[in-house]
Amino acid sequence: MRNRFRVEIYDSNKLNDLTIYSDQGVDKDYLTEMVFSNLSRFNGNVKAYVYDELKKIKTVALFLPESVVNKDRPRLLTKVEIGLI
């Protein structure tokens, strides 16, 4: 069956949603790899799951809190820190 598995990766912003279709099964390690490779697209809490189209169930899920997602990103400076106020 073509595109049996659907991988959904999303955060609170609908414009950042990512859907990937796969013919082969996706395990927890591969899902984690896909999420971390696309992490720069997301802000805040990230949720991901694999949906089996044939059995109509979610098979694997992943949740990353905001502290993990924004860990290596540079923090934006405020107006006070820059010296504008």
Measured between alpha carbons, how far is 64 from 69 in angstroms, rounded to an integer? Answer: 7
Residue 55 to residue 1: CA distance in whole angstroms: 12
- Whole-Å CA distances, 70 to 32, 35, 44, 54, 66: 16, 13, 7, 35, 6
Strand intervals (E) in 1-85: 5-10, 18-22, 46-52, 57-64
- Which pLDDT tens digit goes with each residue over 44-55? 899 999 999 999
| 68-77 residue pLDDT tens | 877 777 766 6
Using a cut of 0.85, tell me whether the model's pTM lies above it.
no
Give the H/E segment covering residue 37. helix 28-37
Domain count, the chain: 1
Instruction: Write out the residue range of the structural domain in which residue 31 sits.
Output: 5-82
